[in-house]
Structure 1
Amino acid sequence: MTGEQARHAQRIVEWRESLATMGDAQFFELIRMYLGELKSPFNKQNLIEELSSFLRKPDNKRKIAELLSESDIEVVSAVKFISEATPRKIADFFCGKFTFSKLYERILNLEERLVLYKHGDFLFVNPHLDETLSTIATKSVLAWESCVEKENTKEGFRLSPELLLAFAAFVSENGDICKADGSFKKRAAADIEARFQCGQAPIKRLKDAFENMSILVTNSSGSLSVDMPRFRSFAHLPEALQYAYIAVSSLGRFSRRMLVQQAKLLIEVLLSVRTGFTKENMIRTMYLATENTRRDGGEEAFGATGRFASILQRARKTEAEAESDGQKENAFDEMKRTGCVFSSFERLFDSALELGLLRIRGIDCDKNDIFAPISGIGDLLAPPSGTERKVLSIDAAFSAMVFPGRPLIALIDLANILELRKFDTAVSFEITKKSVTRAFNAGMTEEKISEVLSDACMHELPQNIAVSLDDWRNSFSSVSLFRGYVLRVSEEKIPLVTKNPALAPLIAETLAPGIFLINAESDAQAARLIAESGLDFIGKVRTAEKSDGAAEFPVFRARMIEGCGEKKCGNITSVEERKAHFDKMREILDSMDITKEERECLLFRINRKIVLDESQLKAESVKFAKIEAGGMDFTGKVHIIEQAVTDKCPIEITFASEESSGVESVSGIPSGTEKSDDDVRVSMRISGSDDIRTFSISQATKVRRIYDTAFRR
């Protein structure tokens, strides 16, 4: 037996268990509806086997499927593809399409039609119908791609390496741009509008994302600055992953696991789109994608080597540590339990749209906007390439233009050298004394600056650039303000330091003979450098080390979501064909010589779409019960009500109206009776409301039991 066959067999067992644990009234009513009259003596397990035989007949399975409406198939598909399905969970998925009460009613109807069953707290599709429903209950019924009626040819904003460079340069130049609440200051907002053609909204999202990923940090004065080592780690990611992390992180600060899973979800949805989705279907696709598999964020996706592979290795290690801490659960499960998953997906959709990962491709025949991803999203999953392309143009007036073609990792050093002028169709910068001084402050030498510019430039650097760099370097070096770690050694041990391969490269300045400024960022780094030097006569700084930030940006494998495609009607039959079947059943019922009660019960079954053929229209299948009493038959009225209380069935009470000479009828489910000396009063929850009213049975002119599904009891 294969794994699939074993699972199917287990589901058959669970379906049989669900029948065996039903209340007797519910179970026997179901048996009568499909197998007819119950003959004593009977055995519950034998009856379940007879019902299984009924369902194994191809004609019966085909007829059950043929009588499913489009809405029925949508609900069945949702139960099939949503794990741990409950009425509330299904209602959340169809929010705006069905009210909860109508959806609950439809689920009850599908249970009594043997399409769905409940096992424990969850809903499942009847395993006997798996093959029959396989071609009609599909994901494309729930979320389908739309045909574009009218194309949108307008190109919109999108993220690019040039934008990230421009933003980093802008923040490096203008750190004091935010108020205490994170919004832009008035002057900064005006500056952003003037320099960035896209306006404030995408830049605000970019700022929030970089802050939440700790690429932007707030210093003691409240200004923002770029953490270049962390930015460099981020730039090593494939371009698509960079943009997905930005879209997710713009919404808030997430745990590493949640960040990875949301970014992966977004990429997989974008990869799966061919023509386009409406917003509703895009969000539904996100939901269905989370049902596919548990996600692992640290897979080696591209077979990379070298530095890129080392990032993947660190990511895998961190992911394994997370799993060992008991974090294997899909991070979306908690969101689904709390009911906030769809609002979260809508925010993610809005973020992707505003950042240009999604665009409005056009409209469909119903004038709904159709959304599709930016072109070439799959190509952006490859590791950064094209680092040798020349994309920089510098003129003698110190103006610089950066053109597309280089990945972010090959542009990142320019953020410390260039000053942003305008981000438009082309990105214009300027090389100024202020921007070059910023590069010197970041630890870049004159030679390094020249190397970075030359490496990206399409032509030789203008001579006046080299002259100005030398002048600015002399000016910068004339006065120095140091901040760092001072190492003092005796004269005889100076050579041990200056010739030490671990320490010598990190001597930023010789302040005096035997006094060195060490280029270290923290106590932990200084202690590590001393340990690596092997000089045991130097005291150690004892403090905890900081972890490598590169592991905070893991690479994951993304793949297309199965089941996305054009909408399939799903229905085997048309509305007219289904109507013709039930009209035929009603005609047969009209021709039968049966009692009023039997006719009403069988008609109720036809209207509930339970009757597959005329063999189910048997008077013997109706359990005898008095359903109506009136006038002076006080005992009959009490009996009907008490039976309805037991069965939790609705009743209709008719009594003389106090406001007119006519009569008034009220329906609802009775909850109990209270006897007095000369009367019995019934408490009843009124249909369509939560109101509970009490009525006198002696004053009722008629009491009538209303046929209702046994599954509601």
Structure 2
Amino acid sequence: MNRDSAVWESWKRALVTLPDTTFFAWMRHYLGPLQTPFNKQNLIQDLIQRVSSPDATRVRRLLLTDSDLDILAALKHLGPSSAPDLANWLDLSEAVLRLRLLNLEERLWLFHQTAPQVLYQVSPFTLEDEMAELLTETRFYAGLPAQPAGDVIPLATESHFLALYAALDEFPQELTQGQTWKKKPRAELLAKFAGLTPEDGLDKLLRACENLGLVTWDGPLLRLVDSYWEDLGRLSATDRTALLATAFGPWKGQFLNEAAKAFWEFASKLRPSTAYSWRTLRRFSGQIFAWRTPEDREALLKAWTTIGLFLPGPENDTWVFHPPLVTPGPTILEANFEWRLAPGSPWYEAWSAVRASRLLRCDRLSHFELTKPRVQHAIARGLTAIALQKSLSTLIGHDLPQNIAITIQEWEAQTRQVQLWSGLILRVDPAKAPLLQHAEQFAQAVLETLAPGVFLIDPDSLELVSRDLQQLGLPALPPPQTAKRPLDGSPWSFSRWSAPLPVVGEAPPPTWVPPVDPLPAQKLTEHWQKQIEDSPLQEEEKEELLGRLRRRLMIEERQLSFPVTHKEKLEARGLDFLGKMRLLEQVLANPFDLIDVETRQAEPADTLTLRPLKLDRQANEVLLKAQDPDSGKVYLLPISRLTRVRRLRGSLS
């Protein structure tokens, strides 16, 4: 690389503007004792020559970890970035990331500029041609070839939702005063879904229905919102898939509305039969603006692993996306009125049959039975024998057996011997009535034809009726005040809802980036560690050199003989209360230092690596508040219970 290029000049300028303490600490670490007088520009040239030597270059690259490469590749991919933006992209806590950024900066892989804000960018050493393969953008979207998912049926499949509708319609659920399920209806419901996987699949389905507004609470009673179930059936299969899958996430109402519209955008980023690491899936989801916060995205992805939308891949912590667009299997209707709804069966065509059936059980398939009480119950709510017969014949692919068709007609006739209707009466010019009756939307809205040109219509279907009237040249109907859709707690209407399919090409072929082999670096550091431990240096000097070795700052054996500037005490043990306090105060003054502590909280003693946050002095004790830099867990540790405190330097200065 041309060492007069802009990136070299930016890096040199960043070095020159470092505080003198930091600048000279770095130079002494890499170059050894400095000869006076100092000239920063000359020292930088010496530094470049030293770390660019073939041996030093080989060792520096050998010591790079996967975590190091992720950060460097992200900066190369994103360009100059702030720590918060980089932490969000890498899915790391900002505190942990800042420690790693400082370490990589001291190892000369990146640098930062402070004006107009602190931005990190890769150093010219990172942009060398030999690094390109290690820092390819594909490491963020790496995937492995995986076997097709086979016949796994996700919980978000339409047939499972329809099975739940039939069960809830037959066994309404209710809460006790203590906000627990009433035992008998709950037991009856659980029995229907005993074969469903996962074990808590029923509760997941219920929550998804509640998020969608398909069920709503009326005091202690859980009620079905029939109009929403029917509206959902009118959507396309892809739109319905987006809604049902996203409903298992953390959103409700309008937030769910927006999140579901981005489902296919996310799906377009993943290739079929390809396994992705969890971190890669997080990065993909982070590109979906509608999925709001990292916590929301994490909750959605984790939910999908439990309902079968993500299946385990061939490597540990890899997942294969398995959207629930199941190819419909045959729906089988037996002579004894039992029938099985196959996954992937069209919702709207199955809707009438489900309303008129009782659920026998739901496992991989949904098993129903047409019974007289259920058929008459559905007919009393507006279903007709013709609509039911059409629904069943569409599902099974041929005409109904004669005995079943005749029985359904008989049950309808018995039901209609006494009828009580609730609806709106529409009167149309008799000359136009025959044309209107052939309009598909109008036919669905008619509950009963009372006389020529006089119809009893569903109040919820006024918009459809009005549209057909306009197409026939008749005035549109303004919705009457008394016919407003009841407030049922549902967040939005599914009418004309759509989740757009992105107009993009196929997702890029995945390239699996194998993890770094840690053994060569481990052998090298173990060799140097033994040399340090066997050296005649003072204990404090050994600890300082070992700390630098752990932080992968040593790149040449000659550095082991360089004098170190830090010779203060780095460890306090046992009853040395003042020594432990002094060490902790020093670490608190440097936000990049960590501590190793051993406690007497358990046997054997626990060893923790922590980032101190504060010392809290109480009447008879001093408590250390500290945080695990990886998990974020916060500890409160009495100083008197710490058997050892060791300072782990986070920087050279």
Q: TM-score range by the shorter chain?
A: 0.5 to 0.7
Work out the CA distance in 2 between the residues paired with 1:331 and 1:250: 11
Q: SS of the residue aligned with 2:111?
A: strand
Following TM superposition, by how much is the alpha carbon of 1:212 offset from its aligned partner in structure 2, in angstroms? 1.4
User: Paired residue for 1:446?
Assistant: 385
8 Å Cα contact 1:394/1:457 also seen in 2: no
TM-score, scaled to structure 2: 0.66
1:237 CA displacement: 1.7
CA shift in 2, pair 1:13/1:441, >3 Å: farther
What does residue 19 of structure 2 align with?
23
Count of aligned pairs? 574
- Paired residue for 2:62? 66
How far, CA to CA, are the matches of 1:202 and 1:267 in structure 2? 27
The answer as to 2:523 corresponding to 1:576 is yes
Counterpart in 2 of 1:237? 238
Q: CA deviation at 1:31?
A: 3.3
Question: Is 1:225 the counterpart of 2:225 in the alignment?
Answer: yes
Aligned ranges for residues 265-280 of structure 1 at < 5 Å? 271=272, 273-274=274-275
Secondary structure at the aligned position of 1:411 is classed as helix
Distance in 1 separating the partners of 2:194 and 2:647: 67
SS at match of 1:237: helix
Amino acid of the residue matched to residue 223 of structure 2? S
**Aligned partners of 2:222 and 2:542: how far apart in 1?**
80
Match of 2:334 in 1: 394
Structure 1 residues 91 and 393, CA gap change in structure 2 (3 angstroms): closer
Find the counterpart in structure 2 of residue 428 from structure 1: 367
Mean Cα displacement is larger for which, 431-440 or 248-257? 248-257
**In 1, Cα distance between the equivalents of 2:543 and 2:526?**
19
Residues 265 and 110 from structure 1, CA distance in 2 versus in 1: closer, same or farther, beyond 3 angstroms? same
> Residue in 1 aligned with 2:408?
469
CA contact (8 A) 1:485 1:526 kept: no
> Which residue in 2 is equivalent to 1:645?
none
Task: Answer with 1 or 2: which has the greater Rg.
Answer: 1
- The alignment status of 1:210 with 2:150, answered yes or no, reads no
Q: CA deviation at 1:196?
A: 1.8
Which 5+ residue runs of structure 2 have no aligned equivalent?
486-491, 598-611, 618-645
Does 1:482 find its partner at 2:428?
Answer: no
In the other structure, the counterpart of 1:551 is 497
C-alpha contact (below 8 Å) 1:651/1:669 kept by paired residues: no
Of residues 164, 168, 171, the one that matches 1:171 is 168
Over 3 Å counting, the alpha-carbon distance change for 1:10 and 1:513 in structure 2 is farther
The aligned amino acid for 2:421 is: F
CA distance in 2: counterparts of 1:24 and 1:481, whole angstroms: 91
Give the CA deviation at 1:205.
1.0
Whole-angstrom CA distance in 1 between matches of 2:181 and 2:236: 25
SS in 2 for 1:478: coil
Q: Which amino acid is 1:613 matched to?
A: E
Give the aligned CA root-mean-square deviation in angstroms.
Answer: 5.8
Summarize the Cα distance change of 1:477–1:603 in structure 2 as closer, same or farther, 3 Å threshold. Answer: closer
CA deviation string 1:32-87 (max 9, x = no partner)? 4335636547355x75566556555555432311234xxx4424424534875749
Give, in whole Å, the separation in 2 of the partners of 1:251 and 1:547. Answer: 13
Q: 1:250 to 1:419 in 2, by over 3 A?
A: farther
Question: CA 1:420 to 1:666, structure 2 compared with 1: closer, same or farther past 3 Å?
Answer: closer
**Secondary structure at 2:238's aligned position in 1?**
coil
How far did residue 208 of structure 1 move?
1.5
Q: How far apart are residue 448 of structure 1 and its match?
A: 2.6
Q: Deviations over 1:156-192 (max 9, x none)?
A: 9855454333223323444545679997542332112
Contact 2:442 2:464 in 1 (8 A): no
Give the AA of the match of 2:526: K
Secondary structure at the counterpart of residue 569 of structure 1: coil
Q: Structure 1: which 5+ residue stretches go unaligned? A: 296-329, 629-649, 673-684, 694-705
| Cα 1:573/1:433, change in 2 over 3 Å | same
- Counterpart in the other structure of 1:414: 353
C-alpha distance in 2, partners of 1:509/1:609?
A: 82
Instruction: Name the SS of the counterpart of 1:421 in structure 2.
Output: strand
Partner of residue 293 from structure 2, selected from 312, 316, 335: 335
Q: Is the 8 A contact 2:171 2:188 kept in 1?
A: no
Structure 1 distance, partners of 2:543, 2:404, is 96
1:667–1:584 Cα change, 3 Å: closer
Q: C-alpha deviations, 1:71-104, integer Å up to 9, x for none?
A: x442442453487574998699798xx9968x86
Q: Is 1:110 matched up with 2:104?
A: yes
The match for 2:73 is 80
Q: How does 1:177-196 map to 2 (within 5 A)?
A: 184-196=181-193
Q: Name the CA shift for 1:267/1:480 in 2 (closer, same or farther; >3 Å).
A: farther
- Of the three residues 282, 305, 309, the one matched with 1:287 is 282
Deviation at 1:201, TM superposition (A): 1.8
Letter in 1 for 2:495: G
CA distance 1:561–1:16, shift in 2 (3 Å): farther
Q: Which residue of 2 aligns with 1:316?
A: none
The answer for the alignment partner of 2:194 in structure 1 is 197
